[in-house]
Amino acid sequence: MAFELPQLPYAYNALEPHIDAQTMEIHHSKHHQAYVTNVNAAIAGSDTEKLSIEEICKNISNYPMAIRNNGGGHYNHSLFWSIMAPNAGGEPSGDLAAAINTAFGSFAEFKTLFAAAGTTRFGSGWAWLIVADGKLALCSTPNQDNPLMDIAEVKGTPILAMDVWEHAYYLKYQNKRPDYIAAFWSVVNWAEVSKRFNEAK
Ligand code: MN
């Protein structure tokens, strides 16, 4: 069965003013759609069509680059849309808040380290909060790689993702990636991140 572009759980303008409607529309309907179209073309007629996108990522070293780039793009963006929401941001609570304090010292220190993972990723890529061996960790990946992939430098289950490709912010923030990253905190859906944390740990 072919992969499908997931519907956004909110309107294109719902993350304004932090992420603008035009960026969201192009990002979802053009960029993510292209990853879906291209991964489907790359797996068409093969046994890979029976697998989930997570199963493909976990064995990505067995696949050609078109599947790594476009399958990764599909997984990454599907997660990205879900961990953002309108009227969101603030701070996590409960077990996730406690785990962040244990792993990074404080929520403020976590934000500093996560932002640094995004700003220091050269060129296109992603910053991640992951669960590995039951614990939280931070990392970043190039291009459309992700920490589920068996080729990833740091492996784990992603629970928070931040796209730092220029297409994620250039229309509104131009070259100012740190300004986009600062705004990202206002749209993080901590309820969804907590849910993913509880499932992954
Ligand atoms: Mn993107």
| pLDDT for position 15 | 98
Give the relative orientation of helices 94-104 and 190-200 as an angle to the nearest 10 degrees. Answer: 80
Q: State the Cα–Cα distance between residues 67 and 69, nearest whole angstrom.
A: 6
Q: State the Cα–Cα distance between residues 193 and 158, nearest whole angstrom.
A: 9
- Span 22-80, pLDDT tens digits: 999 999 999 999 999 999 999 999 999 999 999 999 999 999 999 999 999 999 999 99
Q: State the Cα–Cα distance between residues 39 and 94, nearest whole angstrom.
A: 38
Phi (first) and psi of residue 139, to 5 degrees: -160, 175
Q: State the Cα–Cα distance between residues 73 and 188, nearest whole angstrom.
A: 20
| pLDDT for position 25 | 98
CA of 105 to the centre of ligand 1 (A): 30
CA of 35 to the centre of ligand 1 (A): 10
CA of 68 to the centre of ligand 1 (A): 15
Phi (first) and psi of residue 188, to 5 degrees: -70, 130
Radius of gyration over alpha carbons of the chain, in Å? 16
CA of 181 to the centre of ligand 1 (A): 14
- Span 78-124, pLDDT tens digits: 999 999 999 999 999 999 999 999 999 999 999 999 999 999 999 99
pTM exceeds cut of 0.95: yes
